[in-house]
Amino acid sequence: GEDVEQSLFLSVREGDSSVINCTYTDSSSTYLYWYKQEPGAGLQLLTYIFSNMDMKQDQRLTVLLNKKDKHLSLRIADTQTGDSAIYFCAESSGNTGKLIFGQGTTLQVKP
Amino acid sequence: NAGVTQTPKFRILKIGQSMTLQCTQDMNHNYMYWYRQDPGMGLKLIYYSVGAGITDKGEVPNGYNVSRSTTEDFPLRLELAAPSQTSVYFCASRFTDGYNEQFFGPGTRLTVL
């Protein structure tokens, strides 16, 4: 079945760039997403990319998609302590909109 | 709009007890979903619905039941609670067709002892 994999932990210094990586197996993925989860909270959609795009930029966020390698990355420029959270990669395909999530990457931002 | 609301926020159940997790959305979304999030893991889909009267199983449906009698409500029923159902449960909804953001509720933290 479909699978989404992420590294579990990333630690960066405030002001540095963070890059969170994700791989997926479903070649029919239509949309790929990045969600943010703060402690004790629900999921907040950060950004998404359509599968026929290579890159999407949204303020401090840059998403890169390598469809051949089924690799997705999220770059956060000028990382702030408020960016500390768990980041989930997810993919969907078909009409039902079902999301398949990775395990989440905990981003720790040190002052 | 309140968005997606879930009740209760927290619940402790004894093994074998039953309960219903409530989910309501006021955005007139057709599609609704129930996910569970185990500690240190991503979310896994339990059940979903593409409209009133239509439901289907996700990845981990065993031990749960759902119904969708209205567009707004999508309750999740646990009939015989087991410790393996200790998790955080999230409800989500979205419009149909193409790209549409899936909006998540704040979650229900359930412990089965």
Convert the pLDDT of each residue in B46-94 to its tens digit: 999 999 999 999 999 999 999 999 999 999 999 999 999 999 999 999 9
Supply the pLDDT for residue A64: 97
State yes or no: pLDDT of B12 exceeds 90: yes
State yes or no: pLDDT of A2 exceeds 80: no
Q: Which of A88, A95, A97 sits opposite B42 (nearest CB)?
A: A88
Whole-number Cα distances in Å, A47 to A21, A88, A102: 14, 11, 15
Best residue of A43, A44, A106 to probe chain B, by most B CBs closer than 10 Å: A43
Asked whether the beta carbons of A15 and A7 are under 8 A apart, the reply is no
Measured between CA atoms, how close is A51 to chain B, in angstroms? 11
**Residue B63 forms contact with A (CB below 8 Å):** no
Supply the pLDDT for residue B88: 96
State yes or no: pLDDT of B99 exceeds 70: no
- Pick the residue from chain A with its C-alpha nearest to B41: A103
CB contact under 8 A, B90 and A99: no
DSSP, residue by residue, A6-49 = E-SEEEEETTS-EEEEEEE--TT--EEEEEEE-TT--EEEEEEE
The residue written with tokens 């949204």 in the block is A58
Chain B residues touching residue A43 (CB < 8 angstroms): 43, 90, 104
CB contact under 8 A, A96 and B99: no
State yes or no: pLDDT of A94 exceeds 80: no
Q: What are phi and psi of A61, to 5 degrees?
A: -100, 135
Quick: pLDDT tens for A37-83. 998 888 999 999 998 899 999 999 999 999 999 999 999 999 999 99
State yes or no: pLDDT of A1 exceeds 70: no
Strands (E), chain B: 4-7, 10-13, 19-25, 31-37, 43-51, 54-57, 64-66, 76-78, 87-94, 103-104, 108-112
CB contact under 8 A, B41 and A103: yes
- Pick the residue from chain A with its C-alpha nearest to B94: A97
